[in-house]
Structure 1
Amino acid sequence: MDIKTWNAYKYALIVAIGGFVFGLDAAIISGTVRYIASEFSLSDIQIGTVVGAPSLGAIIALFFAGKAADALGRKKTLIIVAVLYLFSALMSAMATSFMMLTIARFIGGLAFSSLSLASMYIGEIAPAKQRGKLVSANQFNIVIGLLAAYFINYYLVTHVSENSLLFSPSTIWRTMLASELIPALAWVILLFRVPESPRWLSMKGQHDQALVVLNKILPQQRAIEVQAEIQQNLNEHKDTESVIQQLKLLFSSPMKTVFAIGFIMAVVQGITGMNAILFYAPTVFEQIGFGLNASFQQAIYIGITSVVFTVLAIFFIDKVGRRPLLILGLVAVVLSHAACWYGFSNATYSVNQQTIDKLEEVIDTTPLTAQIGKQFEDDVSFKEMLASNYDANTLRLNEGHIIEAAISVNPMLILIGILAFIAAFHISIGPIMWVLFSEIFPNSVRSVAIPMFALVTSIASYLIQQFFPWQLATFGAANTFLMYSMFGLIGLVLLWPLLPETKNKTIEEIEGTLVGQSKRNSAPSEQEEASSGAPAA
């Protein structure tokens, strides 16, 4: 690897550290749910509010992220985002109430715009042949962050001690949340070592500085050629500098294919259930009957699967291409959720003497003795019985133990289904959406389009996070996974005819294919319309 290629990798990987911080922030909350719910006596909706607060913050931030990136530059905006992560982690660990914790998590969510900003920066600085790998590096760092969070949670929950300041049942969740402070601080420091985006510099008329940056990552002649391409593209769209003008162009007829691809991918990534498993991993595994500590251990398998298949995505994305990976991945998403639905729909819950014997050491079983001999055909009716016999706080801390003792299910089918979904997501829609976002949007609408569609996926993700505890309690695990499977199927059907292949193409070449083709297709109809409206000779 020559020095220029190494520079491109170095800058991209530093920016992609934000992905690690995001992954850690997103997954670490999964280990705190039961402790926070018990400490602050939270309802299902309040649990969803704490867990979903970052996505709500991301929704708000994305209204301003693109404009900030255009006004301040990609680099300065990323530094601000990194500082927000740092502040949020500190405030979360010190929270003394449900409201304070929610606000702290919300502030952290303002930094979730780092995903779209990192994709924007990396897409603008990466050479065309390396762009897929480098944008995917952001997704890779996300899953490394997820894995780190699951390991941290598992280690802490298996070392709970009443006599420990940091590991006691009342403080362990604070230690979990505080673990984000170190990587967030490191990211703030390292961001000062990356250059500004050459496309942003050109947009601001700083052509000499742009060429200096391009010369750091490309051979001299190629750097001059790329700068000329950037300048030509900016000149062609110099009348679309304002947000309103960019939005009008994005919603125009020539952009309809680009818009449709961006919107569908954004919705599908958020609504197929990734954030339900990501943010509630131990809770999900408790539904299978793995018990408390085992559920934290199973969550590690999610992290490992995420890392392995993200690595495969990075390896194949520039070889196989974006389209084949995305289509095959969505097929796997549909089938894996269907397997989970089938497994949960055949689960039963029995209360017998064996159930009582298993639970006597962890909970008062007196309320269950009247239920001996009863069998429940779904988790909803079983949990309703438990709620009528135990107070909410007792259930929050012990529901996993009770389900483990009472459930009759094929755990391997559901476990394989969940891990297959994680694998499918991370080799397809997870990284590929951000790669395509960095490629399909022309420079003329890029700073509006990427944050806008990141906003769409954030809204979808927020709804999944906010309502998953309520959804699980109301509809049950089987129907919840069935819904995710149907959402994936709809996305697959809609994307199949629209999605192009973009590997090894510059942003300007992709624009010529997608937008240029739309313009050519619309030209004959406009001429026909003009001729049909002309008076007869």
Structure 2
Amino acid sequence: MDKGKRNIYLLGITVVASLGGLLFGFDMAVISGVLPLVQQQFSLSAVQQGWFVSSALVGCITGVAFSGELSDRFGRKKLLMLSASLFLLSALGCALLPSLSWIIAARLVGGIGIGIASNVVPLYISEIAPARVRGRLVTYYQFALTFGILVAYLTNAGLLSFSLNKDAADSLFNRLFVGEVWRGMFGIGVFPALLFLTGLFLVPESPRWLIQKGRFNQGKDILAKITGEDDAIRDTGQIRQSLTEETASYRTLFSPAMRKAMLLGILLPLFSQFSGINAIIYYGPTILNNAGISLSNSLLSQIIFGVANMLFTLIAIWKVDSLGRRPLYLIGTAGATVMLFLTGLCFFTGATASIWLLLCVLAFLACFAFSIGPLKFVVASEIFPNAIRGRAMAVSIMTMWVADTIVGQLTPILLKAWGTYSTFWFFGLFCLIAFITVFKLLPETKGKSLEQIEHYWKKTN
């Protein structure tokens, strides 16, 4: 296979795997349009609303909890297929199941799929990708995630507009897209889920996982389709060598050689959630309205922020393998710190109707989208040893979901108790701590094979 065909093959694998990110983003964002309609139809109490939203989060934590162990045992591809199947069942269930209890159960199932995908997709891409483009390809996952958020915002707005201009009739179509349009919002997820599941039948298993399981020729053949025969032979030898030097146990994660890597794997996802991104998204419509932009409804404002978040992620795809992970992280965390401080200052001084507030928010989104958002996945997917990478990634991504839960509960409390400006300064403090952590602990990993990165930790500890 010549170089051009190898590149097309690699791109195809990455696109299919990244659909897991699209589903992740879609499911995360679709609830914003669904919740008001479900609340109105079922007269949900505050507690019921909270459970309706957080049921998927409980599923996420459950999915992450077993995904690492199972992906190390049964392979990355099988877990991705399980994830796609759960997405599909969830979308169908939310669209068609009659009672609220069953719909929440479907949300829980979908959450398990999200949890699996959030761990296994970046893990799989990092193990497939050549060192020279690994950062870029893993970042496609974050790009797909932001695209999924945008798709949800667009389809929510489109279906709501469609339903308001149609008369309800006694048919399944009208029930899904007119009478109970929130079912159609959920149901749209069937199409990318089917695409993801179908595509997975066409992609290979992770070559590193195959070699780890002693299937050396299969692993080498897949590597050869991606990097060429000579590089495949070299990489197979390096992988086999690394596996003879390590044991596949959780104890390895906390050994002196891996302590710094594990600390990064926990802290970077933690800081990503405490960066203030949720507060920005929460305040998005208000910020735009106060800045003088006239909007017909909050869904349109979400689309504007969704587009910005997706477009700024392209910077990471462009620069992560040339400029490197460390410089992007440092620039991004420093910029986010400054912009959150200035955003808080706008609220403190009462300058909420000025264009400066909008510019500060968009600048923060840029800093988050090209560094803090995608790079936590890139770094976590490449800093752990081959034999335990799945389980180590699960610990890292579990931290992200737990932090997400904490921030979701904490943000409204801070806004009420401290005020808006202090809340933004609180998140800015965490971005500053993230900058210091990256400066002190994160080595540059661009252009290095996963085995070279593993050897670096062992050599420096």
Q: TM-score, normalised by structure 2?
A: 0.90
Q: Mark the CA change 1:457 to 1:287 in structure 2 (over 3 Å): closer, same or farther.
A: farther
Q: Mark the CA change 1:163 to 1:175 in structure 2 (over 3 Å): closer, same or farther.
A: same
Asked whether the 8 Å contact 2:177–2:183 carries over to 1, the reply is: no
Q: Does 1:442 align with 2:451?
A: no
Structure 1 residue aligned with 2:398, among 430, 455, 465? Answer: 455
Match of 1:209 in 2: 218
Report 1:238-387 matches (<5 A). Answer: 240-241=247-248, 245=249, 247-277=250-280, 293-347=296-350
Deviation of the 1:196 alpha carbon:
0.7
Q: Mark the CA change 1:206 to 1:123 in structure 2 (over 3 Å): closer, same or farther.
A: same
Asked whether the 8 Å contact 2:30–2:156 carries over to 1, the reply is: yes
Structure 2 residue aligned with 1:110, among 85, 109, 112? Answer: 112
Mean Cα deviation higher: 183-192 or 98-107:
98-107
Q: Distance in 2 between matches of 1:279 and 1:102?
A: 23
Deviation of the 1:419 alpha carbon:
2.3
Q: Mark the CA change 1:341 to 1:252 in structure 2 (over 3 Å): closer, same or farther.
A: same
Letter in 1 for 2:451: E
Secondary structure at the aligned position of 2:446 is classed as coil
Structure 2 residue aligned with 1:86, among 88, 97, 100? Answer: 88
Q: Mark the CA change 1:170 to 1:339 in structure 2 (over 3 Å): closer, same or farther.
A: farther
Match of 1:498 in 2: 441
Q: Distance in 2 between matches of 1:197 and 1:279?
A: 38
**Can you give the 5+ residue segments of structure 2 that lack an aligned partner in the other structure?**
169-173
Higher RCO (C-alpha under 8 Å, 6+ residues apart): 1
Q: Distance in 1 between matches of 2:28 and 2:367?
A: 19
Q: Distance in 2 between matches of 1:267 and 1:152?
A: 31
Match of 1:181 in 2: 190
Structure 2 residue aligned with 1:152, among 146, 152, 155? Answer: 155
Deviation of the 1:452 alpha carbon:
0.7
Q: Distance in 1 between matches of 2:286 and 2:95?
A: 21
Deviation of the 1:298 alpha carbon:
1.6
Q: Does 1:62 align with 2:64?
A: yes
Match of 1:40 in 2: 42
Q: Does 1:419 align with 2:428?
A: no
Letter in 2 for 1:211: K
Deviation of the 1:225 alpha carbon:
0.7
Asked whether the 8 Å contact 2:14–2:137 carries over to 1, the reply is: yes
Secondary structure at the aligned position of 1:293 is classed as coil
Asked whether the 8 Å contact 2:212–2:386 carries over to 1, the reply is: no
Secondary structure at the aligned position of 1:272 is classed as coil
Q: Distance in 1 between matches of 2:279 and 2:301?
A: 15
Kindly tell me the number of residue pairs found equivalent between the two proteins.
452
Q: Distance in 1 between matches of 2:99 and 2:324?
A: 48
**1:353-388: CA deviation from partner (whole Å, max 9, x where unpaired):** xxxxxxxxxxxxxxxxxxxxxxxxxxxxxxxxxxxx
Q: Mark the CA change 1:96 to 1:336 in structure 2 (over 3 Å): closer, same or farther.
A: farther
Q: Distance in 1 between matches of 2:283 and 2:106?
A: 19
Secondary structure at the aligned position of 1:497 is classed as helix
Asked whether the 8 Å contact 1:287–1:477 carries over to 2, the reply is: no
Structure 1 residue aligned with 2:427, among 484, 488, 493? Answer: 484
Q: Distance in 2 between matches of 1:311 and 1:324?
A: 16
Q: Distance in 1 between matches of 2:100 and 2:450?
A: 45
Q: Distance in 1 between matches of 2:133 and 2:341?
A: 36
Report 1:157-236 matches (<5 A). Answer: 157-159=160-162, 160-161=164-165, 163-164=167-168, 165=174, 171-236=180-245
**Can you give the 5+ residue segments of structure 1 that lack an aligned partner in the other structure?**
348-407, 519-537
**1:464-507: CA deviation from partner (whole Å, max 9, x where unpaired):** 23555565556554443333222222222222211111100001
Q: Mark the CA change 1:40 to 1:284 in structure 2 (over 3 Å): closer, same or farther.
A: farther
Deviation of the 1:195 alpha carbon:
0.6
Asked whether the 8 Å contact 2:295–2:301 carries over to 1, the reply is: no
Secondary structure at the aligned position of 1:444 is classed as helix
Q: Distance in 1 between matches of 2:175 and 2:280?
A: 27
Letter in 2 for 1:2: G
Asked whether the 8 Å contact 1:44–1:469 carries over to 2, the reply is: no
Identity of aligned residues (%): 34
Letter in 2 for 1:3: K
Structure 2 residue aligned with 1:28, among 17, 27, 30? Answer: 30
